[in-house]
Amino acid sequence: MDERDEFDERQRGPRTPAEGVRIIGAEEAQAALEAGHAEGRRPEDAPRYGDVPPAPTGPRPAHRFPLPESVDPSEVSRPPVAAPDMQHWSEPATGEVPRVLGGDTESDDDLEAWSSFTQRAPRWREGDSDWEEADFHDTSALSAETSVGALDTERTEHSDLFTFDEPEPTVVEAAPEPRHVRVGSRNPTGGGDDGGSRGVHLPGARDLPTAIAVGVGLGVVALIAFKLGPVPALVLATAVVTLAAVEAFDVLHRAGYKPARLLGITGTISIMLAAYNYGETALPLVLGLMTITTFLWFLWPVERARATINIAGTLLGFLWVGFLGSFAGLLLAGHSVALLLGPIIATVAYDVGAYFVGSQFGRRPLAPSVSPNKTIEGLAGGAVASIVITTLIVGIVPRIHPWNTGRAFWLGVVVAIAAPLGDLCESMLKRDIGIKDMGTILPGHGGVLDRIDALLFALPAAYYLLRVLH
């Protein structure tokens, strides 16, 4: 090797061993063939890669696709049909259909099975004229069959069309109603309507001593505030009405609505104070501002929710609790707590009388679809208690000025009409929403709104009664 070859060898670098090429001997090649690791020599006539298939033999077509305009397709010779029993694709259709039943011949058993559904055995209809026969439109045979599903005209909405094969639930018969424990104007389980049986009071359903203790405590607090004067009475009334508004908006929110709770509570406090300081002239102003502000609350993204239903919910809570409760401020605006004390005594007398009379003598339900636990006997007992107790305490012993005997009597009559309406209206809303009580802040009574529902309707009635009586 000369110097030039050595230089080329150094430039190319070290050689890599040859890959895939190795010379083997005859014995090793025979062993590879027998083991299937190598393939033998192919015959000379075997096809190889790159071979061209032979040209087709036979007559060549006279024309190629597409046919020229000078050639009539019907005159072009056709190749022989491979299957003589099949029609060529270019020939017109005959209207025949393949046989549905398997085998070469029809089975008589199948025909007899199908013939049981109609008066006549099935027939083959092939031509257009076969469908114009008179018996084809005869559907009298179908009238004898039993209609099921949507074709059953006697099916009701409680049918088993959309039911599954599930075991029917076991019906447990209710226990007999105790005759000596009927409920009157209020549900003894805490001031709400649980939707139970009519007028049935299960023993122990209400902690009566706790309820009495809470009621007496509330009465003592109210008497102390009224004794201190109109301003403390206004503060107490505003606190009670505000708590009731909070419960109302909280119930609407838990029911899936999104009322403007902060706006509703602010409006409730505002209308209470405005009614006391400015009288009736302040009510239209606060109502107008509250309505416009509620619309603007949902116009701008303060509360991202459906506008229509939630504007209605906000105004409902404000008008029901805030606006009706503001009549307490109007009654205190004359700087006399007696004007507000009178309707409160009349409403409490109605509630107590209705409960005890209804619980002992209640038999006939007053409004089963709204409040099954209220009875006509309880309503009558509450009305009598409202008139008698109001006349005695407010008008006679001791006489609370400016109420006299006649005014106290008419106050009892008006409250006896308005109080049950307020109670039933709250029960209607609770049943629609699906709750028992508006709250749980008062043990044995429910929520604050459960206690003043009747008073909210009695306050406007008492205010306008005083306006009529001058």
C-alpha span between 52 and 101 (Å, rounded): 49
Q: Which residue has the higher pLDDT, 187 or 150?
A: 150
The closest alpha carbon to 201, from 349, 355, 429, belongs to 355
438 in the same domain as 342: yes
End residue of a domain, out of 336, 369, 397: 336
Structure tokens at 102: 């398997």
Residue where a domain stops, chosen among 336, 359, 380: 336
Distance CA 252, CA 259 (A): 7
Asked whether residue 315 is assigned to any structural domain, the reply reads yes
Residue 28, in any domain of the structure: no
Does residue 330 share a domain with residue 432?
A: no
Cα–Cα distance measured from residue 462 to residue 467, given in angstroms and rounded to the nearest whole number: 9
- Asked if residue 72 is part of any domain, the answer here is no
Statement: residue 93 has pLDDT above 80: no
Structure tokens at 175: 């226990």
The band of 261, judged by pLDDT with boundaries at 50, 70 and 90, is very high
* Omega prior to 53 cis, within 30 of 0: no
Give residue 196's pLDDT. Answer: 35
- With tokens 């209804």, the residue in question is 358
Q: Is the pLDDT of residue 160 over 80?
A: no
Supply the pLDDT for residue 336. Answer: 81
Among residues 336, 369, 385, the one where a domain terminates is 336
Better-predicted residue by pLDDT, 343 or 27: 343
Contact in structure between 249 and 259 (CB atoms under 8 Å): yes
Mean pLDDT, residues 297-301: 86
Band of residue 181 on the pLDDT scale cut at 50, 70, 90: very low
Residue 316 has what pLDDT? Answer: 95
**H-type helices in 67-119, by residue range?**
108-115
Arithmetic mean of pLDDT, 187-208: 42
Q: Which domain holds residue 399?
A: 179-229+337-470
What is the pLDDT averaged over residues 80-98? 66
Could you tell me if 378 and 438 lie in one domain? yes
Q: Cα torsion at 432, 174, 182, 186 (round to 10°)?
A: -20
Residue 463 lies in a domain: yes
**Pair (284, 224) in one structural domain:** no
Alpha-carbon Rg for the chain, nearest whole angstrom, is 48
Across residues 15-28, what is the average pLDDT? 69
Neighbours of 376 (CB within 10 A): 15
- Local structure of 374: helix, strand or coil: strand
Residues 313 and 344 placed together within one structural domain of the fold: no
DSSP summary character for residue 367: E
CA-nearest of 337, 331, 333 to 225 is 337
For the chain, what is the domain count? 2
